[in-house]
Amino acid sequence: MTAAALDAAAFLRAARDIIPADRIFTAEEDRSAYDDQMAFPSDAHKPAGAIAPVSVEEVQALVRLANRTKTPLWPISRGKNLGYGGSAPVMAGAVILDMSRMNKIIEIDSDRAYCLVEPGVGFYDLYDALAQKNMPLWMSVPGNAWGSVAGNALERGKGPQPYGDHGATICGLEVVLPDGSLIRTGTGAMEGSATWNLSKDVYGPAWDQMFCQSNFGIVTKLGLWLMPAPEATMTLNLQLPHDSDLGRGVDMLYPLRLRGLIDHDPAWVSYVGIASYVGPRSNWYEGEGLLPEEKGRAIRDQLKIGWWNCQLNFYGHEKVIAAKCDAVMEAIGQHFPAKLTPTTWRKGDDFAGSKAGIPGTLDMAMINWYGGRGGHMGFSPILPADGKAAQAQFERTRKRYAEAGLDYYGAFAVGARSVININEILYDRDDERMANAVPRLMDQLISDAAAQGYSEYRTHISTMDRVAKTLNYGNGAMGRLNSLLKDALDPNGIMAPGKSGIWPARYRS
């Protein structure tokens, strides 16, 4: 038994004085349920157990107990962060603090367009609450929306909408610090604050982002800005036919994003991505090795899609968006032989999909691409908004996928100044060849990106140290700052050790 597991056993025993035994999970099948989604069976990230508080006071009591037994905790909201490690901890033997039972929607303000939620609130819960009360608000959802509003925002998840940078729409957190004390960020630091979830202007340092992708506290309430339901939405579907078209795809969009004619980050998605929602691969190809080019062409023909595919959406007052859409069509029309025709949606129309903030799980179908017990892992570097750079990154990445014997699936979300390149590595978790290939591929991709000066925006629990090491400016100055903060806030090293490559002194050596 590891030292962490021994500490955990004492913690889990003593926790029975704090919460009832039916919210403490130590059976083998419970431990395995908090799964790391890795491409091979391994105990590298297996928790010692899980514990599910229902109140802030219980969270505080458990954190104080963890300090006494020196037990590492790993907080999750709903634990659906599948492509980046699921609900498993970085460190084996940690105890999962499963916050999914703290699932109250505390407030929705339809006039000022925000909500305040507990961590266990799922996208479906918030959607239902908005719909039931007929509130004129839209949320932004990720492609696969079975996770939590809070967990996704804390990981800086993305959605295809103007409010699609979920980390950036956080306004005001309540956090249990590693010593068990409770704080509220932003203007919520004032007793009786009237503007906690309304304003990011704050006196002194702003701490909301300090609790994103970090291990400095457990978030127990999260304020999030929502989008006023638009009067109308216009959609333009774009396709480019060749693999070599990504560069022009990026160059045609980012200046329009920069100038505000497009107000979300539209993504160019490779055709295997779209086929994987319809898949599995065996629909088209039963053979070994990479999908042959002629099969790729057959998929594109059958699904009537391009090599690269993108959806542009315009949200708001109908006259305004019609003018924006016209200007965009004029700017990019030369790239498309067939005249672009937008579809317009109005209030009351039957909307579908994440562009309208409607949660769905269709995207998860991608893990069935290879059949078997499917899995996926995200590799997500940030590039400059530059067509040449994006094309080169794509070619480099596809070559590495080919070396690993895996079909390429990438998406490039075009921002005003940068592009987030989300690559999904799809695999069958029980296929030994793939199991061995995936970690090597990830390692290679991280090295390749770093050689270009690109870091990742998010990574899987198994590569958190690896990515943290690439942040090497000033001989790792950022890592030293993170360690300083970690040791000051969490001297016993109980809070999510290893999250984002940040380790407490206790485990650093």
Q: Tell me which residues are annotated as active site.
A: 84, 457-458
Other beta carbons within 10 angstroms of residue 312's beta carbon come to: 25
Instruction: Give the whole-angstrom CA distance, residue 201 versus residue 137.
Output: 23
Residue appearing with tokens 């078997």:
372
Note the Cα 244 to chain centre separation in Å: 28
Report the 10 Å Cβ neighbour count for 178. 25
Nearer to ligand ADP, 300 or 458 (CB): 458
Minimum distance from residue 185 beta carbon to ligand ADP (Å): 13
Q: How far is the CB of 176 from ligand ADP (least distance, A)?
A: 8
Residues 399-431 as b or e (16 or more Cβ within 10 Å = b): ebbeebebbbbbbbbbbbebbbbbbbbbbbbeb
Q: Which is nearer to ligand ADP, 82 or 413 (CB)?
A: 82
Distance of CA 231 to the CA centre of its chain: 29
Interaction site with ligand ADP (CB under 6 A): 75-81, 87, 99, 119, 147-148, 150-152, 154-155, 218-219, 496, 499
CB of 119 to ligand ADP, least distance (A): 4
CA angle (326, 327, 330) in 5-degree steps: 85
**CA distance between the termini of the chain:** 19
Cβ at position 90, least distance to ligand ADP in Å: 9
* Shortest spacing between CB 147 and ligand ADP, in angstroms: 3
Burial (0-12, 13-18, 19+ Cβ within 10 Å), 1? exposed
Residue in the shown chain whose Cβ atom is closest to ligand ADP: 151
Nearer to ligand ADP, 119 or 296 (CB): 119
Helix (H) or strand (E) holding 228: strand 227-228
Alpha helices in 186-292 (DSSP H): 246-258, 271-278
Question: CA 362 → CA 87, 275, 368, 380, 501, distances in Å?
Answer: 20, 12, 11, 21, 32
**Which is closer to ligand ADP, CB of 99 or CB of 312?**
99
Nearer to ligand ADP, 9 or 76 (CB): 76
Shortest Cβ distance from residue 308 to ligand ADP (Å)? 27
Strand intervals (E) in 99-203: 105-109, 114-117, 137-138, 170-176, 182-184
| Cβ contact 341:404 at 8 Å | no
Nearer to ligand ADP, 219 or 414 (CB): 219
